[in-house]
Amino acid sequence: MSAFAALAAGRRHWVGLRPDGTVTAVGDGRAGECAVGDWTDVVAIAAGAVHAARNTGRSHTVGLRDDGTVVATGWNDDGQCDVAHWTDVVAIAAGWRRTIGVCADGTALAAGRNREQQCAVDDWRGVLAVACGDWHSVGLLADGSVRATGNSTRRQCDVGQWRDVVSVAAGSVHSVGLRRDGTVVAAGRGPACEVSEWTNVVGVTAGSHHTIALLDDRTVVAAGADEQHQCDVGQWRDVVSVAAGSTFTVGLLRDGSVATTGGF
């Protein structure tokens, strides 16, 4: 398997982006979420993740091409893969039954289920990046502030006071923000939000009920649920990026290989 440049993790699959713009997917492809073998010229990838339950096995995969168009494959019952008409896109995110895109002008696009208003991003402006939880969506704005929309029963959308944020992630019922100073803030409830003591962080990702952080020394720390050993990352070294799926974690190592822990 060729070395990867980036990773994304979904419900029961993970996706690797190669430096040449091709994509590989590993895992459960029952809904076509792993049918990415013919994708080319891809510069970013996203995978739909959702909490583990009997009715949540299917997922979808999204790719951003270098010309600003978007391709998607997999489960499409709510139209989450209906993104072929999108153009001028610079960033993407995928959640349960949903795809969010960021356009070059700082506006946002959404496709998929909107029952909880998780796709209500039409009025967002100055957006740099987005993240998708199960029923909520999070947007990072150019001024370092954060917006969220959707279900907030666990207060996962209480991000309005966040400042100096440089990246965001979203789990099932929690949101995570990486601040410019290398500290981390979280909204929601439960052990996945126990991140306030982390420092020297350079990257964050969120699974359904766990949070993973990459530190500046290329080691990794974790918080949250660990029933599938998805937080067993303490021995990882030389990591350059991390991605958290529903109940597993993958790490891209400096040599282009991949470390994994957890289960589907």
- pLDDT of 88-120, one tens digit each? 999 999 999 999 999 999 999 999 999 999 999
56 pLDDT band (50/70/90 cuts)? confident
Of the pLDDT bands very low, low, confident and very high (cuts 50, 70, 90), residue 57 is confident
Mean pLDDT across the stretch 140-155?
98
| 149-to-85, 166, 192, 210 alpha-carbon distances in Å | 24, 19, 20, 21
In DSSP terms, which residues pair with 110 in a beta bridge? 100
Q: Is the pLDDT of residue 248 over 60?
A: yes
Place of tokens 């954060």: 146
- Residue 164's pLDDT band, with cuts at 50, 70 and 90, is very high
Confidence band of 156 (pLDDT split at 50, 70, 90): very high
Does the pLDDT at position 1 exceed 80? no
Sheet holding 42-47, edge to edge: 42-47, 60-65, 70-74
pLDDT at 59: 95
CA-wise closest residue to 156 among 168, 144, 143, 141 = 168
Residue 14: per-residue pLDDT: 97
Nearest to 155, CA basis, from 178, 132, 187, 131: 187
Q: For residue 171, what are the contacts with CB-CB under 8 A and spacing of at least 6?
A: 133, 134, 188, 192, 206, 207, 208, 209, 210, 211, 224, 244
Residues 211, 171: Cα–Cα separation, whole Å: 8
User: 133-165 in b/e burial notation, b at 16+ Cβ within 10 A?
Assistant: bbbbbbbbbeeebbbbbbbbebebbebeebeeb
Q: Model confidence at 2, in pLDDT bands (50, 70, 90)?
A: low
Is the pLDDT at 54 greater than 60, yes or no? Answer: yes
**pLDDT grade, residue 263 (50/70/90)?**
very high
DSSP-derived 3-state class of residue 192: helix
Q: What pTM, to 2 d.p., does this model score?
A: 0.97
**Residues 57-71, mean pLDDT to the nearest whole number:** 96
* CA-closest candidate to residue 263, choices 248, 243, 245: 248
Separation in Å, CA 37 to CA 23, 91, 93:
6, 21, 20
